[in-house]
Chain A
Amino acid sequence: METVTEIYFVEMLHGLVYGMLLFLVASGFTLVFGLMNVLNLSHTGFYMLGAYLAYSVTVYLDNFWLALIICPIITGIAGLGVEHIFLRKIHSREGAHAAELLLTFGIFYVISELIVMTWGSFELDVPAPEILTGSITFVGITYPVYRFFILAISGAILALMTFVLQKTRTGMMIKAAVSDAKMLDSLGVNVSLVFLGVFGGGSALAGLAGVIAAPFFTAYPSMGLEILIDCFVVVVVGGFGSLMGAFVAALMIGELHSFGVLLFPNIALAFQFLLMAGVLVFKPAGLFGEKNE
């Protein structure tokens, strides 16, 4: 019989797992917004694509680890394609914010439908590799290995991201571009390249998150839309364009999910939207967002 602390601890871990996963997807989402003032709603389409591709790779090539490498590359390239073909042109049009938003949602729709057309509309089980199955026991708690794997990988990526952004020149350019792309452009930096990089990188990251998530959640048709809504909440709560905000918000939402379901199962979903409403009312720019206008 588990003690209350143990139950809470497990729930906290659950929340952490989902939160980290959410962060992986939301980070690209919020960075692209900070850069281009476009909320790219097709972003989570790549998460979905990553998951489905992982299915094919693991089932047909019998190698999960390969999926971890190939799928993000594919989604990254796909992301670059989308940016280049669709968003470039729109971006330079005057007052086209609505069109951009709708366009990205249109692309999301198309990606979703294409996926369903290719893989069917049933849930697909993605088998995890042997060593990652089962549970381990520590401090008296039994916890699935795979969830630790998720934590480990996302933790590693977080560390990598922090390193790149804080310690490398590329990172500095990205931060500068998010802050003020025009200024950077006038300083002679090839801002388009930065855009491409962030876009491609973000899409790859979303794809990677999809691969990791697939054995956990299975690959199913509405996964893109569901996480899109969560990402949206993350960005509103954390602040548009703020990576730190995305991190904090994603973890908050992850924990709200877990504890919400545990303590108030009927209105669990409402919590994250109440959080969102609260932020909107008291700090509309998001917890870490900058003041607008």
Chain B
Amino acid sequence: MNKIAKLNSILMWCTMILVLIFAPIVLPVFGIEMATEIVIFSLFAISINLLIKYIGLVSFGHAAFFGVGAYIVAIVLKSVAGFPLFGLLLLSIGSAVLLAAIIGFFSVRSSPSYFPLLVLAFQMLLLTIAMKWRSLTGGDDGMPIIRPDFYLPIIGEINLIDSVNMYYLSLVIVIMALFLVYLALKTPLGNAFLCTKINPSRASHLGYNILLIRWIAFVLSGAMAGLAGGLYVIFQEFVATTTMDLHMSFTAFMMVLIGGTAYYLGPVLGVTFYILMTYFLSDITPHWQLYLGVMFIIIVKYSEGGLVGLIEKLRDIFSHTTKEVFNDVNT
């Protein structure tokens, strides 16, 4: 039984990867761009879900790290022409890590109920700085950037203005990041995360330093969000305060909840759903946000586990094995 399930899951993964790789061939340009956006926001949404699923903390201010990652790339690109791409991405991770280390230090001390709001408070502070420090950040108007070229050995110069290249770059970076974190979650550290979530009191009585563990998770999650931000600004060719405002936090959260928090990759569904909806609904009605909001309320209220939960329920009805596959594949 287990062998078949394993085979099933390998097949599923291969199919997904093939779809992702060959997507640009069948999609029109705007489709490729949409796919890129989905990939980047998946990283962001999963970073938020990391905290929820593995540590039980809700960070309502993760847009702070997303925004910082975005801004640092833009600021460096503006000041230093030709700064290497991977350096930029490392900077986006590094700046987010620094910020998360500071914010996390103050926030993890509070009870899990206050935590979301504390992080949000810090985000608001950063947002104000971004809005007011116009000389550095361009304020509300934001800053445009040009996608840098980057150099790979053997393949040579790669031009990112080409949407397809941008897509593949995002895809590779995001998959690598997600995979690395996935591996980390299978280590004792990942187990420590879970202990801290399930019974923090007992865990500390067993010698686990709860505050430190939460802090580590927070910094890790911030790093992922920062990386997503860095990719985002390169993709959008533009950064503005919208990358770290309340709306961005809300949107990211909506994606997570729509997708469902039960699985590591669950948010991908939420991201896909949301982005598809915004693209198509906005064509149909000017009040698409309203309908999106309503849909969101319904999903949150009536389905425990978002879309993934709904799909799971449907799956249960039709097939027993597939459920085991999904369980087997994700944590």
Contacts and interface: CB of A to CB of B under 8 A. Distances in A.
Nearest to A291: B111
B116 A98 contact: yes
B237 interface: no
Contacts of B257: 98-99, 102
Interface string A260-283: 000000110110011011001100
Contacts of A95: 56
B301 interface: yes
A274 B289 contact: no
A109 B293 contact: yes
Nearest to B131: A269
Nearest to A266: B132
B132 A101 contact: no
Contact of B300 (A37, A99, A236, A270): A99
A182 interface: no
A83 to B, nearest CB: 13
Contact of A270 (B128, B261, B296): B128
Contacts of A113: 287, 289-290, 293
A277 B290 contact: no
B110 interface: yes
Contact of B121 (A106, A109, A276, A285): A276
B117 A86 contact: no
Nearest to B109: A284
Contacts of A178: none
Contacts of A90: 300-301
A93 B304 contact: yes
A103 B297 CA distance: 6
B136 interface: no
A114 B294 CA distance: 11
B106 interface: yes
Contact of B254 (A39, A102, A280): A102
B250 interface: yes
Secondary structure at the A interface, as helix, strand, loop or mixed, is helix
A39 B116 CA distance: 10
Contacts of B254: 102, 106
A240 to B, nearest CB: 7
A273 B246 contact: no
Contact of B250 (A97, A105, A114, A293): A105
Contacts of B124: 229, 232-233, 273, 276
Contact of A280 (B122, B128, B246, B253): B122
A225 B246 CA distance: 9
A95 B262 CA distance: 13
B64 to A, nearest CB: 12
B93 interface: no
Interface residues of B, number: 40
A110 interface: yes
Given A106-B297, A110-B290, A269-B132, A284 B58 contact: no
Interface residues of A, number: 42
A233 B300 CA distance: 27
Nearest to A93: B304
B246 A293 contact: no
Interface string A71-101: 0000000000000001001100101011101
Contacts of A270: 125, 128-129, 132
Given A95-B56, A293-B111, A280 B300 contact: no
A273 B128 contact: yes
B132 A273 contact: no
A273 B56 CA distance: 27
A90 to B, nearest CB: 7
A223 B19 CA distance: 45
A277 B120 contact: no
B43 interface: no
Contacts of B287: 113, 117
B125 A276 contact: yes
A292 interface: yes
Contacts of A145: none
A279 to B, nearest CB: 9
Interface of A: 37, 39, 86, 89-90, 93, 95, 97-99, 101-103, 105-107, 109-110, 113-114, 117, 225, 229, 232-233, 235-236, 240, 266-267, 269-270, 273-274, 276-277, 280-281, 284-285, 292-293
Interface of B: 52, 56, 58, 60, 106-107, 109-114, 116-118, 120-122, 124-125, 128-129, 131-132, 246, 250, 253-254, 257, 261, 287, 289-290, 293-294, 296-297, 300-301, 304
Top 7 A-B residue pairs of the complex, sorted by shortest distance between their CB atoms: A113-B290, A292-B111, A98-B58, A109-B293, A273-B125, A293-B111, A110-B293
19 contacts: A37-B113, A89-B301, A98-B60, A98-B261, A99-B300, A102-B253, A103-B297, A103-B300, A106-B297, A110-B294, A114-B290, A117-B287, A117-B290, A229-B246, A236-B121, A269-B128, A280-B106, A281-B106, A285-B114
Given A240-B117, A273-B125, 6 more contacts: A86-B301, A89-B301, A97-B58, A101-B116, A113-B289, A280-B106
